[in-house]
Amino acid sequence: MFAAIKKHATFANICSFLCLTIVMGMGTAYANNTIRSKDIVNGQVKTVDLANNGVTTGKILDGEVGTLDIGTGAVTSTSIADNSLTSTDLGSSSVGSDEIATDAVNATEIADNSIDGGEIVDDSLGQSDIGAGGVGASEVSDGSLTGADIASNSITTADIAGTDASGAISLGAGAVANGRCNFYDISVPGAIADQTVIISARASLPTGQILYGVEVPSNDHVIMAACNFSGGTWDALSSFPIRTVTFG
């Protein structure tokens, strides 16, 4: 039989037979110029088989890129669209001080009332971190400040709303009868009606003569009392220096 085949074999017949054999061996996938998933052995598509930028967002299933798929430093600020990250994209405690550039977070990035004592390290806030007038009565809880929280001499009359004025008064001899008090309206610019007033002498008064503040009846006015408990005639006071403090 082989002799018969050999007798009728020609070069053309052999080529035709080989072509037919090759075409049949290629199967439908190659005949249709199509490669399907079933035609690829698992794990046989390598990095070198992918064109640059060949894998786009549309080729990646949602949630299929994990931390192990991202190289260290591969995601930078330029890789993240504006407002694309929310709190749900960040793991608990995943953002630390090392991830935040100096001065990168300002008041516009912080929601009202989002920072309380639990977010502030002890002694981490200094005077330079608090703006002028930044702490008001509403920021201080009742009873939260004691003498231990206030440095010696850190509060002066300048820290108390009111006035601290120096001036002088003149009262002639016999101006106040013995055992009596007289009241005088003196001008104290800046005093506010109903504030508390303290008047102190800035020099030695004659024995038994007393000066003290009574009230602030209206803005810029203070009532001062002069009392004579000397047992005799009131000694004259000429340009006598006094200090007037109002507050509250």
What is the per-residue pLDDT across 223-236, written as a single tens digit (0 to 9) for each? 999 999 999 999 99
**Residues of the chain under the 70 pLDDT cut:** 1-33, 157-158
- DSSP strand pairing (237-247 vs 162-171): antiparallel
Which pLDDT score, from 0 to 100, does residue 77 have?
A: 72
- DSSP strand pairing (196-201 vs 237-247): antiparallel
Selection from 154, 184, 192 nearest residue 167 by Cα: 184
Report DSSP letters for 64-121, one per residue: ---GGGS-TT---GGGS-TT---GGGS-TT---GGGS-TT---GGGS-TT---GGGS-
Count the Cβ atoms, other than its own, within 10 Å of residue 197. 21
Residue 231 lies inside a defined structural domain of this protein: yes
**Whole-angstrom distance, CA of residue 228 vs CA of residue 211:** 9
Q: Cβ distance 177 to 227 under 8 Å?
A: no
- Looking at the structure of the chain, the number of domains it has is 1
Count the Cβ atoms, other than its own, within 10 Å of residue 221. 15
Which pLDDT score, from 0 to 100, does residue 4 have?
A: 56
Supply the pTM of this predicted model: 0.45
Domain that holds residue 236: 161-247
Residue 93 lies inside a defined structural domain of this protein: no
Residue 183 lies inside a defined structural domain of this protein: yes
Residue 83 to residues 77, 88, 172, Cα–Cα distance (Å): 11, 12, 79
Residue 243 lies inside a defined structural domain of this protein: yes
Which pLDDT score, from 0 to 100, does residue 43 have?
A: 77
Q: Cβ distance 171 to 239 under 8 Å?
A: no
CATH number for the domain including 175? 2.60.40
Residue 220 lies inside a defined structural domain of this protein: yes
Residue 193 lies inside a defined structural domain of this protein: yes
Per-residue exposure over 128-144, b if at least 16 CB sit within 10 Å of its own CB, e if not = eeeeeeeeeeeeeeeee
Which pLDDT score, from 0 to 100, does residue 13 have?
A: 63
**Whole-angstrom distance, CA of residue 200 vs CA of residue 242:** 6
